Structure 1
């Protein structure tokens, strides 16, 4: 067998494969014998079909399949041995379709495959590259809001006589026109966008009525839900004034800051005083802020890398490959999504170049641990007091990784974390303390 590749330009190449009968005959003969052992054909006992009969009947199809397997395996091995950083997968060249073969087990086959090559570039990160690592501090307003939300999450529902801001009104809304829309639903006063309308819904009692303009009061999705119609119908309303009649007032009272409340949030007896509770909440909030800070740093590193790596791609080849692997995609859809595809591909090859250049390795244990972290976070989301054992997390993680799509996603996430950790150690990070309010302004 002869196999070689030839560059067309910096990002395109062809792989040529020549197969002689000596190359493919052993595997084809073996496949025919295996088929004879398994074949169940009329007039023959199971496993006793003559090899010659199989060769006459199915020989060309077997030959075709075996040559395809052989060529694909050899090309994959060649790419690995020659360390070719290919994009997509090899595609048969158009001129291969013109080749004519007898398929009589004597042909010498010549195949040409097109490949896309990752562009050459230097990664732009070094100790001279500086980024800001923000240390986000929780301000009083943020802590107060977090405590309020926690107390409301574990509070109790009451039905006061008079409405206040933040209550939920169970009310009927009737359009001010003959045969107009009428629907009864829960109306959260905290989602009302117009200050005057929100004020008008404070101080109401059961059976009180007030007129509101629903287009001023609600966002489209909220209004459509409350009125029991779809968003398009809401957008086309000719009359937007509705009469709102209160049927009931619901209020979620905040939980008391007592031991029962503390034990719902933390292991029993761990928190016994309000100041300890506040300190725990501050720690929790600032840990969440650490995630925000890391995400900001990731975004800044990503933007710097994308701006400072100037490369070209084998665009014609990539479009051909995308069409071959997604035959139902239209030309318009392909063009619409192609810029985003190239953007994602660019960052992927930057990450891959950092991995290969610096001999980084994603280990299986790291993928397992990442899976366990994600599962643990999901469990705690639904039950803050549940503490799964390490054995349980291992079992859940192994089950998750049985799904190839999930396993690939976690591997890619582990690789991205590995690259991020490497870059944090090999660029300059300037620490800067900042309030959450000011940090939010950076994001806008």
Structure 2
């Protein structure tokens, strides 16, 4: 067997594979001998069928199968030994005069080669690295939410502007019949607030759904409908009052602090606010890190220039799916996948240049940390190491879970590298401003 490569240009090559009779003859003969031993053909005893008949019946199929196996095995071996970094898979070239009755065969394959390029992490234009801080306004709001959540409900006879009112919304035509609690603070329609104020248990008030709340999800929850059904909903609903309560906020005392954080962990309002700030900013850090990872990725795709073997890749997309695509469909698929392919190559280059790889023990420890965090949420603060090992082994035996956790760990490694090497500009913002800047 002889394999040679013809370089077309930097990104395209042709591999030619020449197979002679000596390469496949013994393999074919041995398989046909096995066929002869097992063949059941009328008129012949088992194992006594003439070899000529076996060859006539099975010879061509066995030849084709063995030559293809030989071809694939040696082609893959050649690509590995020559260290050819190919994109997609080798594509067999159409050969109009190919003849399986010949004793020697010649095959040709098109290759799309990965480009050579450098990745500069320290880009000219810096990437914004957000540091999200919990400002006093947010801390005050969180304290107020805690006080309300752990406060007492005091029954009232008449609805006041700060009260919570439980009742049933009804509109037969719109198929609305839902029991819900209204916080008058969250109602944005002043007419609705005025209509409800002063009402008593048993009273029915007609409200307009349009503009009742600022957010659609609040209306959906009140009416018991899906978000898409309440979008632009403009109907009248009858709300029958069943219960009126004033929520008296809980006092900021040791009993509440112990209930929230465990006995003696927090002992003053100042310490409570510090804890809220610390916990909030830890959560914000995850969001800021994900934003940084996304932004550095985008910046690297923008600034790392290289060509791809586009025509080869379009042909590969066109012919290797479950069904063959048209040229136009292949072009469309290529355009959709080009950005992702570019980043795969960039990421691969970064990992190689900086010797970043995943070791199984690292992945196992990362998985155990993930499991510990989950168990802590359910009050299991100090699980046994053996138990963690057992659960981690079970989690990592699931290929999908192992892949997901591997990707998470790799993202953490890349993030650490970017924080160290990339051109970053730290910007301190509160959460509200972060949301405005990032999500508009």
Please classify the TM superposition score into its range, dividing by the shorter chain length.
Answer: 0.7 to 0.9
- Contact 1:133/1:429 (8 A) holds in 2: yes
User: Cα RMSD between the aligned structures?
Assistant: 4.4
Separation in 1, partners of 2:165, 2:48:
78
Is 1:372–2:368 an aligned residue pair? yes
Aligned to 2:405: 410
- Contact 2:315/2:330 (8 A) holds in 1: no
Is 1:359–2:358 an aligned residue pair? no
The correspondence for 1:285, drawn from 280, 288, 298, is 280
- Contact 2:91/2:111 (8 A) holds in 1: yes
Separation in 1, partners of 2:188, 2:17:
71
Aligned to 2:322: 327
Aligned to 2:193: 199
Residue 304 of structure 1 and its aligned partner are, at CA, apart by 2.0
Q: Within 5 Å, which residues of 2 pair with 1:98-247?
A: 99-102=98-101, 107-126=103-122, 130-149=126-145, 155=150, 158=153, 160-161=155-156, 162=159, 167=164, 169-174=166-171, 179=173, 181-186=175-180, 189=183, 194-196=188-190, 199-200=193-194, 204-217=199-212, 223=219, 227=223, 240-247=235-242
- Contact 2:162/2:246 (8 A) holds in 1: no
Q: Within 5 Å, which residues of 2 pair with 1:380-399?
A: 380-381=376-377, 383=378, 386-399=381-394
Residue 320 of structure 1 and its aligned partner are, at CA, apart by 4.0
Aligned to 2:339: 343
Separation in 2, partners of 1:192, 1:268:
34
* C-alpha distance 441-216 of structure 1, shift in aligned 2 (>3 A): closer
Separation in 2, partners of 1:50, 1:3:
38
Aligned to 1:12: 12
Residue 119 of structure 1 and its aligned partner are, at CA, apart by 2.7
Residue 207 of structure 1 and its aligned partner are, at CA, apart by 2.7
SS of match in other structure, 2:210: helix
TM-score when normalising by structure 2: 0.77
Separation in 2, partners of 1:49, 1:266:
86
TM-score when normalising by structure 1: 0.76
* C-alpha distance 231-275 of structure 1, shift in aligned 2 (>3 A): closer
- Contact 2:13/2:112 (8 A) holds in 1: yes
- Contact 2:123/2:423 (8 A) holds in 1: yes
* C-alpha distance 376-217 of structure 1, shift in aligned 2 (>3 A): farther
SS of match in other structure, 1:217: coil
Q: Within 5 Å, which residues of 2 pair with 1:58-73?
A: 60-73=60-73
* C-alpha distance 24-435 of structure 1, shift in aligned 2 (>3 A): same
* C-alpha distance 408-173 of structure 1, shift in aligned 2 (>3 A): same
The correspondence for 1:314, drawn from 306, 309, 314, is 309
CA deviations on 1:85-125 (whole Å, 9 max, x unpaired) are: 322233333x15763313xxx74333333333223322122
* C-alpha distance 4-136 of structure 1, shift in aligned 2 (>3 A): same
Separation in 2, partners of 1:124, 1:212:
61
Is 1:80–2:80 an aligned residue pair? yes
Q: What is the number of residues matched between the two proteins? A: 430
Residue 305 of structure 1 and its aligned partner are, at CA, apart by 0.9
